[in-house]
Structure 1
Amino acid sequence: MARPRMAAGALFFDEAGRVLLVEPSYKDYRDVPGGYVERGESPLKACTREIHEELGITPRVGRLLVVDWAPNPGEGDKILYLFDGGLLSTDHRHQVALRADELHGYDFHHAERLPELTIPRLVRRITAAIQARLDGLTVYLEHGEPPEAGS
């Protein structure tokens, strides 16, 4: 039986429709806020916990946008959940307190800039999540892409 690692994150937006990305101290690319799911913890609870741990805020996290099966050669099977964080209010932005041991910073970025800021698989996942949000859907991906029919 498979025992995949699971991670959960959220997409937050500003008033201009830009996506929030964090700058982890332990990665050479930007990422969405979130992290690994702990034993006995739901992906939604993990997402909320990780956002609080990383950013020091507890905004409401909305519906599931994407489930992405994305195994990694070094880490094995992984399932990644991406939730809709919605508009991150000015109040929440003023309350952000970064964990210096985890994050160097954060900022909002236009979707067109994602390829220069993060890894291709995450660009595909975020792009699919933005579209799912607009369409009111939840999408399933494999390595950040819709699987071929019948695969």
Structure 2
Amino acid sequence: MDRSSRALSGAGALFFDEAGRLLLVADWAPRDGEDRVLFVFEGGLIDAAEIRLPAEELRSFAFVPPAEAGLRLIPRLARRVAEALRARESGETRYLEHGLARQA
């Protein structure tokens, strides 16, 4: 894989960031007249001891099962997380619009 952050596989395309992490979700989410594309990459495992929270930004964090994450997030973020988990399971990048799977 070259540093262009793109690798081709069969008829489809798999995308990676520069560290080689698989792109799970690309979500087109325009807001207030601006086009935005939000990306979710496979981040691997993280140890809670590695997390540093800037006190002025975040006061806590929690590791929760996927079903509970859906209850804690606003609907569009819950949809994005659910699609990212499906993408990780299948190994295929998901393309969304406002957290909803795009119809081909």
TM-score normalised to the size of structure 1?
0.52
Quote the offset at 1:94 in angstroms. Answer: 1.4
- Unpaired segments of 5 or more residues in structure 2? 1-16
Contact 1:62–1:84 (8 Å) recurs in 2? yes
Which structure: larger Rg? 2
Which residue of 76, 83, 89 corresponds with 2:34? 76
> One-letter code of the match for 2:102?
P
- Please tell me whether residue 109 in structure 1 is matched to residue 64 in structure 2: yes
Of the candidates 88, 101, 104, which is equivalent to residue 46 of structure 2? 88
Q: Per the alignment, in what secondary structure is the counterpart of residue 43 of structure 2?
A: strand
**Once the 2 structures are TM-superposed, how far is the Cα of residue 61 of structure 1 from its aligned partner?**
7.2
Point out 4+ residue stretches in structure 1 off by more than 3 angstroms.
Answer: none
Higher strand share: 1
Q: Percent identity?
A: 40
Q: Is the 8 A contact 1:67 1:141 kept in 2?
A: yes
User: For 1:34-76, what per-residue CA distance to the aligned partner results, in whole angstroms no more than 9, with x for missing partners?
Assistant: xxxxxxxxxx57xxxxxxxxxxxxxx77211000001123x62
2:20 and 2:44 map into 1 onto residues whose CA distance is: 7
**Closer, same or farther: CA 109–61 of 1 in aligned 2, 3 Å:** farther
Matched residue SS, 2:100: coil
- In the alignment, structure 1 segments of 5+ residues that lack a partner are 1-43, 46-59
CA RMSD in angstroms comes to 2.0
Asked if 1:64 is matched to 2:23, the reply is yes
Question: What is the TM-score of this pair, normalised by structure 2?
Answer: 0.74
